[in-house]
Structure 1
């Protein structure tokens, strides 16, 4: 069990490194057990609320009472900063505070001989941290009075560039988890790259977590897709590129750069690490709607040891959905399909082909399964490069199949011409 003192030190230290967490965490001074920690956090809150930076200098210059804590202590705090575990530590701090509050309330109830309904009400308030939620719907309905007369504009909706897919799912919505699944080499990563590039060119903020592929290789793929370059020729552009392709090179690089794609290629990331990095990137790019891509689900590192991979996948898929809701942005995660599909005559995948599919089917808002007929043909010279995007689950719309044109050499995916 983590000591309360270390827990609070780590939270305060991380806030000193990342000032936006002071207000975003929605913590209260009374949630800290240590008196000095309560006092320090209160000072940090006042500075942050006033729009001031919070660091050693601003604390020492603004508050004389900081001497009661000791500036040397503030300096020593910094060694406890851990942004990747911040969310878990905040959650643990809240739980510890709730337990203290419950114990105090039960003591008061015993001393004051409270009635059972009064005890239940006070305990409920502790569970809600005193923040009462308005559950009435009247005002929501009043706000909708003019809805049939105005153009629909879903805030934060990111529309895919593949026309048939956009018609089926409308777009990737804030707070929703999308799973894109396929057999190896079917085109999952290329679909991710295309969606990320076009989202960036629309003014959004694509954040790619590439747990399997290095940043260098992923960049080469993004460049090949953007410039319509053969990936084979990308291995030695000086030798294989035409003069026209060479002259167009800088324009392609500029085009990729304007997508504002961010790539984290660390392997074996946990959900906490992904969440921490995503939060930092989002804060640094305020004003852009984020869309998070993860390649891929089965190699996300689980927190803790589990006897069954299905249990680990269940926790990870649920955490991905929670992350989408927390950041109010779409989260798109790639996933592998199991080998069952290979034993069937019709090899178009089904949701049941998802590895450890139970929790994934439940948590995902949209599930898209990829299929190319040419993938299974021995003679591929005349096979059409048609990519089927099978929308097997769509929580807020219809299911069906969208088709797109897929260039295997460049990785470029476009709407299929009719």
Structure 2
């Protein structure tokens, strides 16, 4: 006797396959989101593989051609017809697909959990827990494509313009084509404002994505004060002194509904390793992660020298981004640059100034460097945001005005490329 749970699981698979047989135009988009592993029943998996092979070959897809690709026979004919009859409509396929995938992950998760009950040491336990974490991530396996799949993917992905992640600065949005799965490094000298800029980016992106801001240096309460100062237009000095006026309390209350619509969480991460941050991010389903900052993340190997430790941390975040489909924005200290002899200004920083490891610039998909235009006048100086590395676009620099009283940045002056 088949359980109600099994019937429910199989009906989701049937609904997806039935939709593809009823409306072949759906096959292309579905192939970009569904894999063999999403079908737990062997017969349904074979049907999906036959549909995919028929589609990729450029030949018509219907019950007859799929049956013939499966080897023919009355059994396959009957099953294909039953699947189509049981599927009420192809219009709901995007409801069927995630339901089927969630049920498949749940089934595999239970299998892993059963194995965990029989582990004999901590290493086996860690491996099992890693497998469980991987089930929460869409990109579980090694990705590969042949040339037919490449062309198919190209048409699917570029039929409509792709929406890249934005940063709240129009010039940066035009030049930096960042996406989930990338690793971005934001480097800056101490007191240049990189944390304030990162918090601004994170808040902007959290209007549409789940964002986790892991702070290893500044408490979540101090970050919250900075955010509210900027969003409500309240001076930081008044917040720090605890002397908010009635008008300022009103502004804070007025800003609250907008703030509450953002999916941003501030995390005290002192003592966390890159592995800890990855596990926590996956558990909380963050789509974007900020790490402030990379050089003070707890190393996994305390016996390694400092360069090796920072390199390992950088590689771990790169693997987290590329392997988990999370945008990782890692803040980094810049080594203090020598001052130019003639005008006492800092020499413009380069990627080689990222502290303690050249591995950071190798791992990053893009590198942003933040510094003062006139270091001798820190309160009046504009900030320069230099796009020093940009794999998919142009490099350049832009000028920002920093309102320290309210922890706000805005574009200022003529930008150079």
Normalising by structure 1, we get a TM-score of 0.64
- CA 1:321–1:132: 2 relative to 1, 3 Å: closer
- CA 1:169–1:268: 2 relative to 1, 3 Å: same
Normalising by structure 2, we get a TM-score of 0.64
- State the partner residue of 1:367: 367
Shift, 1:153, TM fit: 1.3
Further displaced range: 408-417 or 354-363: 408-417
* Equivalent runs, 1:111-150 vs 2, <5 Å: 135-145=145-155, 150=159
Q: Secondary structure at the match of 1:311?
A: helix
Q: Secondary structure at the match of 1:333?
A: strand
- State the partner residue of 1:41: none
Deviations 1:256-291 (A, max 9, x none): 332221121031210111011101110xx7xxxx11
- State the partner residue of 1:231: 236
The yes-or-no answer on 1:248 pairing with 2:244 is: no
- State the partner residue of 2:188: 182
The yes-or-no answer on 1:151 pairing with 2:156 is: no
Further displaced range: 295-304 or 401-410: 401-410
Deviations 1:38-63 (A, max 9, x none): xxxxxxxxx964958989xxx9xxxx
- State the partner residue of 1:110: none
- State the partner residue of 2:179: 173
The yes-or-no answer on 1:301 pairing with 2:310 is: no
Q: Secondary structure at the match of 2:236?
A: coil
| Structure of higher RCO (CA pairs closer than 8 Å, 6+ residues apart) | 1
* Equivalent runs, 1:37-186 vs 2, <5 Å: 49=104, 86=126, 90=130, 135-145=145-155, 150-154=159-163, 157-170=164-177, 172-186=178-192
Q: Secondary structure at the match of 1:220?
A: helix
Gapped regions of structure 1 (runs ≥ 5): 1-25, 27-46, 60-65, 92-130
Contact 1:366-1:395 at 8 Å conserved across structures: yes
- CA 1:134–1:331: 2 relative to 1, 3 Å: closer
Shift, 1:225, TM fit: 1.6
- State the partner residue of 1:278: 281
Cα distance in structure 1, aligned partners of 2:389 and 2:105: 46
Match of 2:402 among 397, 406, 410: 406
Q: Secondary structure at the match of 1:349?
A: coil
- State the partner residue of 1:358: 358
Q: Secondary structure at the match of 1:248?
A: helix
Further displaced range: 344-353 or 331-340: 344-353
- CA 1:206–1:146: 2 relative to 1, 3 Å: closer
The yes-or-no answer on 1:212 pairing with 2:212 is: no
* Equivalent runs, 1:379-394 vs 2, <5 Å: 380=379, 383-384=380-381, 386-394=382-390
Kindly report structure 1 stretches of 4+ aligned residues shifted beyond 6 Å.
52-55
* Equivalent runs, 1:13-28 vs 2, <5 Å: none
Cα distance in structure 1, aligned partners of 2:105 and 2:181: 30
Deviations 1:91-142 (A, max 9, x none): 8xxxxxxxxxxxxxxxxxxxxxxxxxxxxxxxxxxxxxxx897542123214
Length, aligned pairs only: 305
The yes-or-no answer on 1:192 pairing with 2:198 is: yes
Q: Output the aligned Cα RMSD.
A: 3.9
